[in-house]
Structures are given as C-alpha cells and as structure tokens.
A and B are shown apart, each in its own frame.
Chain A
Amino acid sequence: MNRVHKPMIFSLTLFVFLSVFIFAKPEQTSAFSDQVIQQGAVGEDVIELQARLKHIGFYNGKIDGVFGWGTYWALRNFQYEFGMEIDGLAGQTAKDKLVQTTNYDKEKVKQEMYGTGTAPSGGNNEGGESAPVSSTNVPQGYSNNDIQLMANAVYGESRGEPYEGQVAVAAVILNRVNSPLFPDTVSGVIFEPRAFTAVADGQIWLEPNEQAREAVLDAINGWDPSGNALYYFNPDTATSGWIWSRPQIKTIGKHIFCS
C-alpha cells in the first residue's frame, strides 16, 4: 500500500512546489505599472527601474525614486546593449526586458532607501497614494532651500493676492537677480534693506503655504505675469513718491507692477 502511494505523494508535492513557484513569480515581477516612464518622473516605478538597472550594473547612483540624468544614461545604455531603440523612455519593451533579466526585491530596496524596514509615513507628503521618495526634483540651478526662501518672501508679500499675482512677485525677485541694478543672488535681492516690506516687518518668517511654493516654482520655470517688472507697489500704502514715476506695466490684485 505504502509503496504504491509514495511516487504519487512525491509528484503531488513537486506539483505544489512548482505551482507555487510558477504562480508566485509573475506576481513578484509584474510590479511595474503600465506607464511609460520618462525623465523627470518620480515614484514607485522609478524606484523599481533604478533598482533593476542597478542589479545588472547599468546604474550605479543612489536609488532615490527620481528619474534624473544618472537613470537616463543607465536606461539608454541598457537599451543600447540589448539592441532596443535608444530613446531613454522606459516603455513596455524595455520594462519587459528588465523584468526578464533582473530581480527586484522590493522590501530590501526599501530598507536600503530608508534605513529602516518601513518607509517614513506622510510627513509633508500629503496625498498618501504617491510613494514617499527620498529625493525631489529641483529646477536647474536652484536648491530646495532657495525655493523655500523665495516662497517665504512671496507669502509674506502677497498672500491673499490672486495666484498670478504671487507668481508675478516671485518673477520680480528673479528679474532683479538678473538686473545689473540689483544684487546678483536671490538672498541678496530679498534681504536688500527696505526692498520688501515683508522682510522689514518680519512677515517673511511666516510659514508659507503650498500655493506660494508653487508660484515660486512657476516663476523659476519661466512664467512671468509681471511683464518683466522690476518693481511693484501697493497704491494704498506706498510711501515713496518716486515709485509713481516708473512706467506702469499692469495691475494684478492690489499691486501695480512697473519697470
């Protein structure tokens, strides 16, 4: 009796093992979502992309969840080596190839990214659906602290103004940096004595909201609703007669912008 059943039990066990292996594998590897991942993207897919490229030695930077230049070159070299079209976009072909050739251990990568087993929860990152990444995109030539400092100034000067008015105030700061008539740095322009009332009365140290930060990012990325203005003033509170002699460009909210 026993003798007859032994091979059967054996093959059954084998089948169970195999099936676990077969069914488990696709689940582990199909973590990429459907999106085509392009330079500048952030999130889970980018973490996976970086981890997989690192696994086969194309990427040697930090796994930070931001598709920067390092990831871009790694992906292009990967596409080149595997005879794909070299476009620096992680489309379906590239993702399939990566899944075939590499392993991705999500837990381990996460642990390396954050030092602990669990990813830091929330923090400043509202909207929990996007995965917390350990880095952020910054515009060329600016650091997050520069953006924060400008956001402070914009919030102190123009909270309560329409959005384009806030972008315009940020643009005036940048126009001044580029002008020979003013200091050459963001901090130099902001802290020029008597240049901004919010700096003089300390309102610059209020905690800026998200909108002020967005306005600063837009201005840095090229939006200038002020029309190249170097000055603006509130006609109700302006104390200097001189400012009225400047040619006016336009009025946004309570501010008159002039060149």
Chain B
Amino acid sequence: MYRWITITLLTVALISVSIWGYHSNKQKNDLYVQAENEYQRSFHELTYNMDVLNDQIGTSLAMNSPDKLSPQFVDIWRISSNAHANTGQLPMGLLPIHKTEEFLSDLGDFTYQTAIRNLDDDPLTDEETEQLEKFYKQSGEIRDELREAQHLSLSNGSKWMDVEQALLNTDTDGKKDNDMVNSFQAVEDSFNASTEETTEESTTSTDTEEHSYKNVTGNDLTEEEALKKAEKIFGREDGTEWTITKSGDGALTPMYSVSYDENGERGYADLTVKGGHPLNLLISREIDGKQLSLNEGFEIASDYLSELGFDEMQLFQSSEYDKVGIYSFVYEDDGVRVFSDAVEVKVALDNGDITGLTANNYFKNHVKRDIPNPAISEEEARDAVNQNVTIQENHLAIIDDSQGKEILTYEFLGTRDDATYRIFINAETGAEEKIEKMTDAEINYNSVI
C-alpha cells in the first residue's frame, strides 16, 4: 500500500519537475533567441546603412547644383546617425570599435554643417571636396569589410551571443576565435592603414597637454606643500589625517588628489601640481534640518570665492536641491559675462558649510582677454530676436560657438507665453548663435500619487 503511494507521489513529482524543467529551458532559449535577434538586427542594419552611405556619398561627389546637394547631405547625416546608434547596440564593449564610431560621428558633423549652409553663396571648398572623397573611400572600405562579415555570419551561422566568449579567448596567433570579431578588427585596422597620415586624435588626445589648462600658474608643489594648501582650503588645520595621491599619465594636467575621512564626513579635492589650484572639491556628509535660506547660502558662497582669490565672479544661476544650494558663477570681464569661465559652489543649508567647488572650466579657459567693442548696437541685436519673444533682460556675453571658438554676443533673456528663452545674438554679425529654452521646475510625481 505505502509502496504504491510512494510510487505515485514520486511519479507525479517527476512529471512536474520535467514539465517545469522543459518550460524554464524553453523560456531560456526564447530569451536567448530574442537577445540574439536584437544583435542581429543592429548588425544587419549597420551593414545596410553602410551600403547606403557609400552610395550616397558617391552620388554627392557627382552632384553640382546646391538644390540637390543640401537634401543629399541631410540624408547622409540622417543615415550616419542611424548607423551610429546601431554600432552602440552591438556587444563590443570589450573590443571598442572607436574608429568606426568616430568616422560616423565626423561624417555626421560634416554633412550637417554643410547641409545647413547656403551652398548657393558659399559652395564647397576644395578641401571640403577632398574631405568628402576621403569619406567616400573610407565608407567603401568599411562597407567591404562589413559585407564580408555579413556573408560569413550568414553562411556559418555565427552568433553574437558567442562574441563575448570569443573576445576573452585569443588564439596563439593573436586571432580571435570568431568571424564577427575578426571582421570588426579588420575594419578598425583598415582605418589605421588608410588614415594614418591624417589621423589627429582630437577628442581622445592621450598625451598630457599642459596648455589645455590655460590658467594654471605657479611653481610645482611637493606633496607636503599640497597638503598645506589643502588644509587651508578645507579649513582643517587641526591634524586631520590626509591621504594624497598623484595623477597618472592620462591626466590633462598633473594633479594631487587629497582626501580625508573623519566623523562620518568625507572630503576630497583635486589640486593642480602647478600652484596647487583647487579644480574640484567635494565634501559628503549627512545634512541636518535646513536653517539657512538659499540667499544666505549665496552670500557664503561668494565670500568663499573671494577668499580663494576668484575675483569679479557674478552669480548666474542658483538652485536648491534637498537642503543643498548649488550656485553657478561666471567671470565678469568689464561688464561682459564669460560663460566658459564658470565656477560652481555647493553650500549645505544646515550650517552653511561649503560642501563643493568645481573650478575646472575656470582654470582651463580663463585668460586675460582683449574684448572688442560690439560691431552692432543693442537695438540692432534686439531686432534679430523673434518678434514673439518679449525681452526681459540683456547682457553682453562671451560664449563658445559650435566650433569651440569664443565669440562676443548679446545675451537676451526673454519670454514667450510661459516659456523662458536664453538667446545669443552675435555682436559681430548679428547672427542668432544659440537659443536655449530654460528648464522649469518639474512636477514631483511622488507628490501626485
């Protein structure tokens, strides 16, 4: 009797486990296939994008009339942006395909800039045509490599899900055990071969360029001197135990990082080796009940800046986030606001302690400037602003244009209905340089529920 009950129970158990096992295995396979299909879609779309890109660039080289060129460039720009998005969805984290991504990004920038230009008055220069030819050649090379990869993957049934494993295992001859990986490696290598003479790693500059920090002056400090400086900046001359390290080769300017941990408070700062200027400062601790207003915090922040020797700084923006006030200051050069010389200060609104400072941009960009007089009057600049915008406030300002060059502008703050805009009109040419819609407070969805 008991035997039969046991047998029945075990049989039932066995059957249920099998069903459960079957289901979870099926589920796992479904997910696997789904993830693989996502990768496959990105990959096949990318190769298709490359096909089209190469064709379109080739076509544009044969075009003559601006009427046709501009829409053509818009199309190339759109496709390159698609292709860039697709490269971002491939699991290549361990094998960066940066050359390909940089190519797509450069191509996008180039075609965008030329597409929005009036090509009737301002046709392509010889250098630009040359650049376009280079894009054509490169896109052809990438297309060929990708086509080969596509063919291999279709005929061998290679899986993207295996790529990660393959990236970790390298054969003795340095080849990876995966068609896809090898093809992408070939694409990257083709860049190295074909663009060697022109490659300038603009954005990923690896060598230490001290001149990229224009405003770092003084003698090189030893660790002891840097610590003295840190004690003064943090106001901790009472035997705090400091940790100090020096930055490595990759840093844009050599710096010391100092930190301390005391009574649940953590402080950290980056000081330049040259002169010991504070680039970053952060203090993290629990903040008690709010005692100070945002405005009182502002007084503290601006006193602190003058104490550290930042002169002529003007408040440009302030915000309160959960008992902390964050203040952005810009340098004011003879009535002109210089946006690239910004400094941010953080003040805890419980006792008014400074809990943060970042002056990175200030030390990078601040120089003695020779600011020209504006070529157009404020009235003329006002006329360049959309008639539906009511101008409320205006300043002279120096901003970076899209090429990163500093330009003098009229800055107008204006409203249209409920929205506020910041509009920059070039003080030289009267062109609209930049328009920003200001972000307003956001509904706190927690309080709505």
Contacts and interface: CB of A to CB of B under 8 A. Distances in A.
Interface stretch (B11-19, B134-142, B288-296, B404-412): B288-296
Contacts of A39: 317-318
Interface stretch (A21-29, A103-111, A152-160, A186-194): A186-194
A114 B444 CA distance: 12
A144 interface: yes
B144 interface: no
Contacts of B448: 134
A225 B268 contact: yes
Interface stretch (A4-12, A94-102, A201-209, A238-246): A238-246
Contacts of B250: 227, 229, 246-249, 257-259
A133 B444 contact: yes
Contacts of A228: 252
B342 interface: yes
B10 to A, nearest CB: 36
Interface string A69-92: 110010010000000000001000
Nearest to A167: B282
Chain B: number of interface residues, binned into ranges: 35 or more
Nearest to A134: B447
Most B CB within 10 A of own CB, among A33, A89, A164, A194? A164
A140 interface: yes
B196 interface: no
B7 interface: no
B346 interface: yes
B247 A137 contact: no
B358 A188 contact: no
A195 to B, nearest CB: 5
B93 interface: yes
B430 interface: no
Given A134-B443, A136-B441, A259-B250, A225 B270 contact: yes
B325 interface: yes
Interface stretch (B95-103, B224-232, B381-389): B95-103
Interface stretch (B21-29, B45-53, B84-92, B331-339): B84-92
Nearest to B87: A183
Nearest to B393: A76
Most A CB within 10 A of own CB, among B85, B295, B325? B295
A184 to B, nearest CB: 8
The secondary-structure label for the interface of chain A is loop
A48 interface: no
Contact of B255 (A211, A227, A258): A227
Interface in A211-252: 211, 214, 217-218, 221-225, 227-230, 239-240, 242, 246-252
B318 A180 contact: no
A72 B247 CA distance: 43
Contact of B93 (A40, A167, A192, A222): A192
B190 interface: no
A13 interface: no
Interface string B269-311: 0100000000010101000011001111010000000000000
A50 B416 CA distance: 19
Nearest to A65: B441
B248 A249 contact: yes
28 contacts: A38-B293, A40-B294, A40-B325, A68-B441, A69-B440, A70-B440, A120-B447, A129-B289, A135-B441, A135-B442, A135-B444, A136-B441, A137-B441, A138-B441, A141-B439, A163-B282, A164-B282, A181-B102, A193-B89, A193-B90, A194-B91, A211-B284, A225-B268, A227-B250, A227-B251, A240-B168, A246-B250, A258-B250
Sorted nearest first, the 4 A-B pairs with minimum C-beta distance are A194-B93, A35-B293, A180-B105, A247-B250
Given A76-B392, A214-B322, A217-B321, 15 more contacts: A35-B294, A39-B317, A68-B440, A76-B393, A132-B447, A133-B447, A134-B444, A136-B442, A140-B439, A144-B444, A164-B282, A214-B284, A250-B245, A257-B250, A259-B204
